[in-house]
Structure 1
Amino acid sequence: MEPLAVQQCVEVHQEISPIEKKIVEVTYDMKLYEDKITVKDYMYPITSIFDISYRKKEEDGAMGYIYLHTNKGVRTYYIKEEPSEFVNAYFKLKRERPELQ
């Protein structure tokens, strides 16, 4: 099954060696399907998601956040790309399926 939308997320961590400390960024995809959202190895059923919001500065390369408001709390993911296409696809799906409202 093809995803309806894909949002690239970023995981940031430090690696420290005896001679240097560096910040490493690893990218992965958040995928929206008709019945779920997947993030790495985790799956959120679409019925468990109440809302999606984000906070992103307009500057190129600036770090932002996308928030999944779920029945188990708010899950936060780092982003660098504008997520409006992903968020709009979610709200379109929500409008088309009355059981999600």
Structure 2
Amino acid sequence: MTETLARLNATYTEHVIEDFQKKRVPVEIPLCLKEDRIAYGHNLEISYPLKEVLDVSYRYEPGKIGFLYIHTIQGVRTFQINSDPAGFVEQFHQLDHL
């Protein structure tokens, strides 16, 4: 198992049906920058190998919902964030991954 270099919490909205009503439930998941991949999910079961990640960028303002963008060779994956991701992104840019 590889070391976690940086961690950030992300949020997504899950749609569930409860009592015959459709509800939107926010779910928080960790995003972890590892030495060889960016992993996320409840058990970090989903990941992007760093050799396939072209860039990581973000749009964030305190007190508002922000967005973290993972640019891969297959497209861009967007995550909602509630805290400043600058440390996570800076750590990613320090890696020699391409």
What is aligned with 1:4?
A: 5
What is aligned with 1:68?
A: 70
CA RMSD of aligned residues (A): 1.9
Higher strand share: 2
What is aligned with 1:33?
A: 34
TM-score (norm 1): 0.80
For residue 27 of structure 2, what is the amino acid of its counterpart?
A: V
Query: How many pairs were matched up?
Result: 94
2:62 is aligned with 1:54: no
Which 5+ residue runs of structure 1 have no aligned equivalent? none
User: Structure 1 vs Structure 2: percent identity of aligned residues?
Assistant: 34
* Secondary structure of 1:58 counterpart: coil
**Cα separation, 2, equivalents of 1:32 and 1:23:** 28
Which 5+ residue runs of structure 2 have no aligned equivalent? none
Higher helix share: 1
For residue 46 of structure 2, what is the amino acid of its counterpart?
A: Y
